[in-house]
Amino acid sequence: MSSLRILVPVKRVIDYAIKPRVNKTQTAVETAGVKHSMNPFDELSVEEAVRIRERKVPVEDIVAISAGPTKAQDVLRTAMAMGCDRAIHVEIPTDKGEPDLEPLGVAKMLKAVVEKEKRNLVILGKQSIDDDANQTGQMLAGLLNWPQATQASKVDVEGEQVTVTREVDGGVETLSAKLPMIITTDLRLNEPRFASLPNIMKAKKKKLDKMTLQDLGVDATRRLKTVKVTEPAPRKGGGKVDSVDGLIGKLKELGAL
């Protein structure tokens, strides 16, 4: 029986607690000087990978990967402090006008890495909270022709057999498939741990390989052009009332009752 060789893709995004602002030229959201952290769903992926090993399932190694500017290494160090064994940084320079990767490009890159690193389980977040696309895991599964279980709230690995409970509209459903497999995480899957200081120190010594898309032979040409990014139409609060009768009155006035 082969052991698990897990790949956990992580993305550096604007911290979830920060309200993003659109830049003046309406080309993107302002990112300079804004706090970034690991995409919350990716924290769940890292946590799940580490927990699978802690449940005594044979795990050969857990590799974290991120594509982006040099600062993406911060989230890789976090992933290693949480328990990943090593990391791969696919450098996407921002200074040469290289655009962000789209999910299809990321999926192609991950496919190349999966093959190069002989992975048999990839655990991704269900979506990144910046682009909100919810595509990369499914695309990777399609490119590799592997089974997929998206929006997982429970994962059980027994030998080659993986059973996943996934969140769907109206409840949950359970799927089962053999390795290799793609899983994407939903919020209910687990409670990610905090990286302790000793582990943060240890993570600095773990191996972090650097690669480029060219090294991997991946063409990630963008298919979508950003026409513009705007602020959503603001909703103005309608003020407060001081009683239940006032509330009912106002709702009637607004035609909601």
Partner 1 sequence: MFSVARQGALRQARTFLRPSKPTVTSPASALARLLSTLALLEQREGKLNPSSLSAVTAAQKLGGSITGFVAGSGVKAVAEQAAKVEGLEKVIVVENGAYDKGLPENYAPLLVENIKKGGFTHVIAGHSAFGKNLLPRVAALLDVQQISDITSIESEDTFIRPIYAGNAVLTVQSTDPIKLITARGTAFPAAPVSEGKTAEITEGTDPNAPSPTEWVSEDLVQSARPDLSTASRVVSGGRGLKSKEEFDRIITPLADALGAAIGASRAAIDSGFADNSLQVGQTGKNVAPELYLCAGISGAIQHLAGMKDSKVIAAINKDPDAPIFQVADVGLVGDLFEKVPELTEKLKQG
Site residues for partner 1, window 54-83 (CB under 8 A)?
none
Site map (CB under 8 A) of partner 1, residues 202-221, x = contact: --------------------
Phi, then psi, of 6 in degrees rounded to 5: -95, 140
The residue with tokens 């952290």 is: 37
Instruction: Rank residues 31 and 37 by Cβ distance to partner 1 and give the closer one.
Output: 31
**Exposure of 172 in the CB half-sphere (CA atoms within 13 A):** 14
Distances 172 to 48, 148, 188 between C-alpha atoms, Å: 19, 15, 11
Of positions 129, 193, 199, 208, contacts partner 1 by CB under 8 A? 129
Contacts of 116 (CB under 8 A, 6+ apart): 216
Q: Please select the residue that binds partner 1; options are 57, 153, 193, 208, rule is CB under 8 A.
A: 153
Using CB under 8 A, pick the residue from 172, 199, 200, 206 that binds partner 1. Answer: 172
- Asked whether position 201 contacts partner 1 by CB under 8 A, the answer is no
Of the candidates 23, 3, 250, the one whose C-alpha atom is nearest the C-alpha of residue 120 is 3
Question: 201 Cβ partners below 8 Å, 6+ apart?
Answer: none
Shorter beta-carbon distance to partner 1: residue 80 or 157: 157
Q: How far is the CB of 46 from partner 1 (least distance, A)?
A: 18
Which of residues 36 and 53 has its CB atom nearest to partner 1 in the complex? Answer: 36
How large is the C-alpha radius of gyration of the chain? 21
The alpha carbon of 100 is separated from its chain's Cα centroid by a whole number of angstroms, namely 15
Considering the rule CB under 8 A, would residue 143 count as an interface residue with partner 1?
Answer: yes
Residue 251 binds to partner 1 (criterion: CB under 8 A) = yes
44 binds partner 1 (CB under 8 A): no
Give the amino acid at 158.
Answer: E
Establish if 94 lies at the interface with partner 1 (CB under 8 A).
yes
Q: With binding defined as CB under 8 A, does residue 115 bind partner 1? A: no
Q: Report if residue 188 touches partner 1, rule: CB under 8 A.
A: yes
